[in-house]
């Protein structure tokens, strides 16, 4: 006898769920109770839904699946950073990171299993892209990293960054749907201003974010402020050059007023010269953005090295002299391969 394939209950809207619950002979308000258990209370088992009758819980168990992701491996760094490898229902893996600092707890979440953009310095770029994450899989990462934050640091999450595995804007609909459940009153109700989505730079999709009037902040993985260098580091630049990105980012800012950040990893001998700094200042004069200077974290797949400290200081001093707001983002979790660019399901 063939088993009945269960419906993924979190793929259903409240309206769709209501129709199906009524078809089971239950009053419509039960659907709202179930929806609240799924998205406000983050239930992962129907048995948790104690304000439902036992018979309804059994029917839900028979017909539906929650498909919650689970932590497969969890590692804790010497600096308090926690990396989780999450197992999805189809046994694929993605990673997320909890980054503690003095005044914030940040969850770094993934949007895809692997990545097909091939950025030469990023470990995820060497993993074949297998699929997009579903909205509930994005939501679950935030729930589980919040639990880790409460357990290990006695504080809830304050910020969420989409800087894990994958390119968020290549999973546009699911990322926005996941954020809707993270920010919505029917979900976790976390402020969108506490969320930053990072992109390698798809001009068309940045414009779509603007047209959709998103509330979250946007970061561009820049890493070079001239097209020749950027195309070598990030092949996506060949189809999304800096001129196109400048226009798209200005369009985004004009439409939303949301904050834009340039992320800039300093590589020894590649993008750290005073000419590079001058190019970055010129770019910042065209876009209302601030700059995060990021320390490079080595990966075995690529032969890059981080900028030496004295050169980094000269670079930052040049930016500051020219009134560019630049902040150094110290790497966390390097001892467990949890730092920027190191996520590779290890």
C-alpha–C-alpha distance, residues 285 and 280, integer Å: 9
Catalytic one of 26, 84, 95, 295: 95
C-alpha–C-alpha distance, residues 78 and 76, integer Å: 7
Structure-block tokens of residue 235: 């092949």
Whether 84 sits among the annotated catalytic residues: the reply is no
Q: What is the DSSP letter of 330?
A: -
Contacts 24+ apart (CB under 8 A), 44-50: 44/68
- Which residues fall within 8 angstroms of residue 182, CB to CB, at 6 or more apart? 138, 139, 142, 160, 188, 190, 195
186 touches 35 (CB < 8 A): yes
C-alpha–C-alpha distance, residues 63 and 67, integer Å: 13
Which phi and psi angles does 25 have, rounded to 5°? 90, 15
Whether 108 sits among the annotated catalytic residues: the reply is no
C-alpha–C-alpha distance, residues 224 and 218, integer Å: 18
Catalytic one of 84, 119, 284, 340: 340
- 323 three-state secondary structure: coil
Catalytically active residues are: 95, 340
């Amino acid at each position: 006898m063939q088993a009945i394939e269960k419906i993924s209950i979190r793929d259903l809207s409240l309206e769709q769920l209501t129709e199906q619950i009524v078809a089971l002979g239950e009053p419509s308000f039960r659907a709202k109770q179930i929806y609240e258990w799924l998205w406000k209370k983050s239930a992962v088992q129907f048995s948790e839904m104690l304000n439902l009758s036992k018979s309804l819980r059994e029917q839900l168990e028979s017909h539906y699946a929650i498909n919650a992701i689970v932590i497969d491996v969890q590692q804790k760094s010497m600096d308090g950073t926690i990396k989780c490898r999450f197992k999805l229902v189809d046994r694929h893996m993605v990673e997320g990171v909890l980054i503690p600092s003095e005044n914030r707890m940040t969850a770094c979440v993934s949007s895809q299993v692997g990545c097909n953009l091939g950025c030469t310095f990023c470990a995820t770029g060497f993993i074949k892209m297998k699929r997009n994450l579903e909205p509930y899989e994005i939501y679950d990462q935030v729930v589980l990293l919040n639990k880790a934050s409460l357990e290990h640091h006695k504080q809830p999450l304050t910020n969420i960054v989409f800087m894990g595995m994958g390119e968020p804007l290549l999973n546009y609909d699911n990322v926005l749907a996941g954020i809707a459940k993270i920010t919505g009153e029917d979900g976790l109700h976390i402020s969108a201003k506490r969320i930053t989505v990072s992109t390698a730079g798809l001009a068309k999709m940045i414009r779509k974010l603007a047209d959709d009037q998103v509330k979250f902040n946007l970061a561009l993985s820049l890493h070079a402020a001239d097209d020749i260098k950027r195309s070598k580091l990030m092949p996506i630049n060949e189809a999304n050059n800096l001129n196109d990105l400048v226009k798209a980012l200005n369009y985004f800012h004009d439409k939303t007023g949301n904050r834009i950040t340039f992320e800039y990893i300093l590589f020894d001998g590649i993008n750290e010269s005073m000419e590079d700094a001058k190019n970055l200042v010129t770019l910042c004069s065209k876009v209302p953005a601030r700059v995060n200077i990021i320390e490079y974290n080595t990966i075995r797949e690529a032969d890059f090295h981080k900028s030496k400290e004295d050169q980094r200081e000269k670079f930052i001093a040049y930016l500051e002299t020219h009134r560019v707001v630049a902040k150094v983002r110290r790497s966390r979790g390097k001892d467990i391969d949890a730092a920027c660019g190191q996520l590779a399901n290890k």
